[in-house]
Amino acid sequence: MLPSRRAPIVTQLLVYKVGGADETAGRTGIAHFLEHMMFKGTGSVGPGEFSRIVGRNGGRDNAYTGFDATGYHQTIAPDRLELVMRMEADRMAGLRIAEKELVPERQVVLEERRMRIDNVPSALLDEAVRARLFGDHKPYGMPIAGFVEDVKKLSVDDLLDFYRRFYTPSNAVLIVVGDTTPETVRKLAETYYGPIPGQAVLPRRRPAEGAPDLPQVVTRADPRVVQSGWARDYLAPSYRMGETRHAYALQVLARLFGSSETSRLWQALVADSKLALSASADYNALSLGLSTFGIDISPLHIDALPEIERVVTDQMKRVLDGDVTSNEIERAQNQLLAAAIYAQDSLGSGPRRYAAALTTGNGVADVEAWPHRIAAVTASDVVAAARHVWRGDSAVTSLLKPAERAP
Amino acid sequence: MRIVAYALALLVAGLFAGRAEAVEIQEVTTPLGIKAWLVEDRSAPLVALSFSFADGTASEPESQKGVTSLMATMLTDGAGALTADIFRRREEDAATHLSFGASSDRLSGTLRVLTASRDEGFDLLRLAVTEPRFDSDMLDQRRDQAIAGLNQAEQSPRSVAERTLMASMFAGHPYSRDASGLRETLKTLTPADLKGRARSVLQRRGLIVAAVGDIDAQTLARQLDRAFGALPEGELPAALPDWAPPAGSRTIAIERPVPQSAVLMAMPGVLRRDPDWYAALILSHILGGGQQSRLFEEVREKRGLAYSVSASLRSSAKASMLVVSTGSANDRVAEAIHVIQTVLARLRTEGVTEQEVADAKTYLTGSLALSLDSSGAIAGLLHGMQIDGLPRDFLDHRADLIAAVTKADVDRMAQRLLRDDAVTTVVVGKPVGLAVER
């Protein structure tokens, strides 16, 4: 419970420790499809009523599915917290899925996939990159949205089976932020979630290694593409898997290497050599399994790609050779910590940060220690982290380019 | 400056659990005559500023299309003695964030700064608005990025639909923006063009300012005079011509090789100052404002024709539209459009229910608080209220204005807005079985 009295509102976020990475080949998209069906009613709340009731009470609600977690959240006036907690507990135990609700919702799920992925060439390429990096039928290698042919086959029983296995109090984390008190939240949670019988959930497994046949290059030539793109994604440790001691240094590395226009990549590729329109690096340590360290470039001209790859390699080599100053480290730390301060000013980002940590094997103490651990990173830590992650044998390089349109 | 120690102390102490109070808006007038609205809020050690100048993209000359947005972007690309690189480093080192953008009516900016580096933040703001450099190498970079942005938008069916809708609804009016023309003029813009445009837009007349956070009225006044005081008083730009909505209905289809067609359906709306604004807002919410809306029920819940389907009122100084937006598989998009048309027709002929009106009122009244979840969001609201010409105590009366709307008002709006003879429909994709009238 995170008290905040900035505004007379509360947010309840109930997040289950299950996501797209807990699916099996041939059954992709279950976690996400189930998230949709969670709005289709229980014994006491009719199909679609959940959101209607929240809206009628001046609130907003939604849900999301990630690789490691599925979250349901409502933001509403503090005196309606009891209402949304009662309804959230109700659908934790009493979900009903009827064939007549499932049929149109399957189409909705497929339309969502079309909108987010099939209509978007770069999203299709990302899907291919993940499959190459983590393995075709492996966690994180299969899309959260599911493959169309899998989603078409999923049945009421498939969804209910998944629901019964994972939707239980012992597999959930409740986060409440806003204008209320820990005592109120505890009392309500004991009243509504308390009586739901718990059940054991098997520990989740994530592979300790990526795909065996790396490195790889993936190209997508698509008639819809006007603006080309080049990217390289490395397998990287997270807080929980791989060489986890590098997780904090990697955040500082991503920051100084490519998180703003003063970063090394931007300076080299956009400001100095004028080969690219933009250049960035990205790393997220919050994963139950392995994570990725990504480098993303928008070339000014596609012909300059060999030159761009050379500049990227040079810039990486500088870091690998130990050319990182403590001044740069401190600036990157400044930026990370300042971003965290601004995030605390917003009610929206607070709960999501805790949810991501608590569903990937971290504790509240880890979230609270984050500023200190970031501040403790040294230049030699960053160099060591780069040497560990930037190895030629753990990457997928990808290229998005235009293709002739079919006549 | 060393923020690390300061930030650590803040993050660890968790100082953000301040007391919620009713939003109390002060009006501040600086010694130089700049007016601002301020909400003092000590719960976070930062200030969020939201401001805008009284001119935007719509008034730019035909030969310089795109100049205002490019100029706005480049205000933070170096100023005074600071080159772009140094400027940005100063910004990052002070953990401050300054950004600018232009809409058709106004050029807006936001500043976010921690208390510990407040002077530096306002100083960078002063430099950006009074001494922007527009160096030619940075101009080349931003120009390339702007053109790439237009290219990128061409890849997205939704963006193509938006651009096409704007071109059709505002044909002949300055609000219309022609992307291909834009690409051509972008190529010809010079640093002198940007300087000239900055001179004519960045003036104190019509400047609107809202501030929220850890700052008192006197300090704010001093900082605002420092930041904006050197700008010329200037004159308000000439009013834009009135907009006449296109007569009749039309369907425009743009072919793109995508599995899902993007759809926009636009009708003339009501202006913000129209006395029926709240009735229109309630109608729009009942039609497509959330998961309890008619469109959501008929298009998504019952038939699974779309993931996203919504309606919203869009208003600017001279125009307003009610826009329905969705996306559906190419072979089902004709059915989706037909269902939307049926929903519109039923609302027009049969009206809304008392329950729908009551629910919409509860939502619109309660949801305002939901969006005020950060200092920046509150500053944005205060800024928007001033643009709309609303009084400072508006928030105290907003609920009453909403409560006063009756079912008869909403039904009247449905007959006025949801006409089937004034709908512009844009479909981008490979729609099957769609009757295209143009």
List the single best residue of B92, B297, B355, B430 to mutate versus A (max A Cβ within 10 A). B92
Query: Quick check: is B219 in a domain?
Result: yes
Residue B109 three-state SS:
strand
> Least CA distance to A407: which residue of chain B?
B257
| Residues A180, A5 contacting (CB under 8 angstroms) | no
> What pLDDT score was predicted for residue B1?
44
Note whether B379 contacts A: Cβ–Cβ < 8 A. no
Q: Last residue of some domain: B198, B228, B258? A: B228
Question: Nearest-CA neighbor of B107 among B55, B58, B50, B48?
Answer: B55
Give the structural domain span for B363.
250-429
* A338/B374 Cβ within 8 A: no
Cα–Cα distance, A120 to A115 (Å, whole number): 7
Residue A143 three-state SS:
coil
- Copy the structure tokens of residue B226: 């420092």
> What pLDDT score was predicted for residue A343?
80
pLDDT at B331 over 90: yes
Query: Quick check: is B59 in a domain?
Result: yes
| End-to-end Cα distance, chain A | 59
| CB atoms near residue B98 (< 10 Å) | 23
Over chain B, what is the mean pLDDT? Answer: 92
Residues of A in contact with B362 (CB under 8 A): 56-58
List the single best residue of A50, A107, A331 to mutate versus B (max B Cβ within 10 A). A107
Alpha helix (H) ranges present in B289-353?
A: 294-295, 333-350
Query: Quick check: is B11 in a domain?
Result: no
Residue A44 three-state SS:
coil
Distance from CA of B193 to the nearest CA of A (A): 22
Class in CATH terms, A216-402: alpha beta
> What pLDDT score was predicted for residue B2?
56
pLDDT at A262 over 70: yes
What is the signed CA dihedral for A312, A318, A319, A323, rounded to 10 degrees?
-150
Cα–Cα distance, A175 to A72 (Å, whole number): 10
pLDDT at A317 over 80: yes
* B372/A341 Cβ within 8 A: no
> What pLDDT score was predicted for residue B290?
86
Over chain A, what is the mean pLDDT? Answer: 95
Cα–Cα distance, A193 to A174 (Å, whole number): 10
Residues of B in contact with A59 (CB under 8 A): 366-367, 370
- Residue that is written with structure tokens 């919620």 in the block: B20
* B8/A375 Cβ within 8 A: yes
* Residues in contact with B355: Cβ distance below 8 Å, sequence separation at least 6, in sequence order: none
Instruction: Answer left, alpha or beta for residue B420, where phi above 0 means left and psi between -120 and 50 means alpha.
Output: alpha
Residue B176 three-state SS:
coil
Q: Starting from the edge strand earliest in sequence, which strands make up the sheet with B97-102, in order? A: B26-29, B35-40, B208-213, B46-53, B107-114, B97-102
Query: Quick check: is B245 in a domain?
Result: no
CATH number at residue B142: 3.30.830.10
- Residue that is written with structure tokens 């939003």 in the block: B23
Q: Tell me the CB-side half-sphere exposure of residue A147, using CA atoms within 13 A.
A: 16
pLDDT over 90 for what percent of chain B? Answer: 84
pLDDT at B17 over 90: no
Please give the CATH topology (third level) of the domain spanning A2-192. Answer: Cytochrome Bc1 Complex; Chain A, domain 1 (3.30.830)
10 Å CB burial of residue B85 (0-12, 13-18, 19+) is middle
Beta bridge partners of B311: B324
Q: Which A residues, 317 through 376, put their C-beta within 8 Å of a C-beta on chain B? A: 330-331, 333-335, 337-338, 340-342, 344-348, 368, 371-372, 375
Distance from CA of A107 to the nearest CA of B (A): 5
Query: Quick check: is B435 in a domain?
Result: no
Distance from CA of B84 to the nearest CA of A (A): 9
| Residues A111, B306 contacting (CB under 8 angstroms) | yes
pLDDT at A247 over 80: yes
Residue B430 three-state SS:
coil
* Residues in contact with B101: Cβ distance below 8 Å, sequence separation at least 6, in sequence order: B69, B72, B73, B107, B108, B109
Number of domains observed in the structure of chain B: 2
Angle, helices A247-258 vs A326-344, to 10°: value is: 100
Residues A52-78, mean pLDDT to the nearest whole number: 94
> What pLDDT score was predicted for residue B4?
60
List the single best residue of A345, A367, A373 to mutate versus B (max B Cβ within 10 A). A345
pLDDT at A407 over 60: no
Tens-digit pLDDT profile for residues B333-349: 999 999 999 999 999 99
* A119/B369 Cβ within 8 A: no
> What pLDDT score was predicted for residue B14?
47
DSSP A216-275: EEEEEEETT-SS-EEEEEEEE--SSSSSGGGHHHHHHHHHHHHSSTTSHHHIIIIIIS--
> What pLDDT score was predicted for residue B373?
77
pLDDT over 90 for what percent of chain A? Answer: 90
Query: Quick check: is B402 in a domain?
Result: yes
Q: What are phi and psi of B269, to 5 degrees?
A: -105, -145
Amino acid letter for position B75: L
Reduce the secondary structure of B240-302 to three states and give it as a string: CCCCCCCCCCEEEEEECCCCEEEEEEEEECCCCCCCCHHHHHHHHHHHHCCCCCHHHHHHHHC
Are both B211 and B281 inside the same structural domain? Answer: no
Q: Which A residues, 122 through 151, put their C-beta within 8 Å of a C-beta on chain B? A: none
**Enzyme catalytic residues of A:** 35
Residues of A in contact with B376 (CB under 8 A): 345-346
Residue with the larger pLDDT of the pair B257 and A341: B257
Residues of B in contact with A221 (CB under 8 A): none
Range list of β-strands (E), A216-275: 216-222, 229-236
Are both B162 and B122 inside the same structural domain? Answer: yes
Cα–Cα distance, B384 to B378 (Å, whole number): 10
10 Å CB burial of residue B33 (0-12, 13-18, 19+) is exposed
Residues of B in contact with A179 (CB under 8 A): 20
Q: Look at chain A and count its residues.
A: 407
What are the angstrom distances between the C-alpha of B102 and each of A156, B49, B59?
50, 16, 12
Are both B219 and B270 inside the same structural domain? Answer: no
Question: Nearest-CA neighbor of B88 among B128, B48, B116?
Answer: B128
Are both B278 and B355 inside the same structural domain? Answer: yes
Pick from B154, B259, B373: CB nearest A114: B259
Q: Look at chain B and count its residues.
A: 438
Domains A2-192 and A216-402 share a fold: yes
Pick from A5, A114, A226: CB nearest B18: A5
ipTM tops the 0.90 cut: yes
pTM of the model: 0.93
Query: Quick check: is B4 in a domain?
Result: no
Cα–Cα distance, A24 to A47 (Å, whole number): 28
pLDDT over 70 for what percent of chain A? Answer: 99
* A341/B304 Cβ within 8 A: no
Query: Quick check: is B236 in a domain?
Result: no
Cα–Cα distance, A96 to A90 (Å, whole number): 11
> Least CA distance to A275: which residue of chain B?
B141
Cα–Cα distance, A234 to A275 (Å, whole number): 23
Pick from A75, A103, A111: CB nearest B328: A111
Cα–Cα distance, A319 to A321 (Å, whole number): 5
| Residues B135, B82 contacting (CB under 8 angstroms) | no
* A7/B20 Cβ within 8 A: yes
Are both B206 and B260 inside the same structural domain? Answer: no
Residues of B in contact with A333 (CB under 8 A): 4
- The residue ranges of every structural domain in chain A are 2-192, 216-402
- Copy the structure tokens of residue B4: 């690390």
pLDDT at B104 over 60: yes
Q: Given the DSSP bridges, would you call strands B107-114 and B46-53 parallel, antiparallel or unpaired?
A: antiparallel
Residues A335-356, mean pLDDT to the nearest whole number: 84
Report the range of poorest mean pLDDT among A157-166, A346-355, B251-260, B331-340: A346-355
- Copy the structure tokens of residue B393: 């105590």
| Inter-chain Cβ pairs, chain A and chain B, closer than 8 A | 222
Exposed e or buried b per residue across A373-402, where buried means at least 16 C-beta atoms within 10 angstroms of its C-beta: ebbebebebbbbbbebbbeeebbbbbbbbb
pLDDT at A316 over 70: yes
> Least CA distance to B359: which residue of chain A?
A56
* Residues in contact with B347: Cβ distance below 8 Å, sequence separation at least 6, in sequence order: B283, B286, B287, B294, B414, B418
Residue B158 three-state SS:
helix
* B305/A55 Cβ within 8 A: no
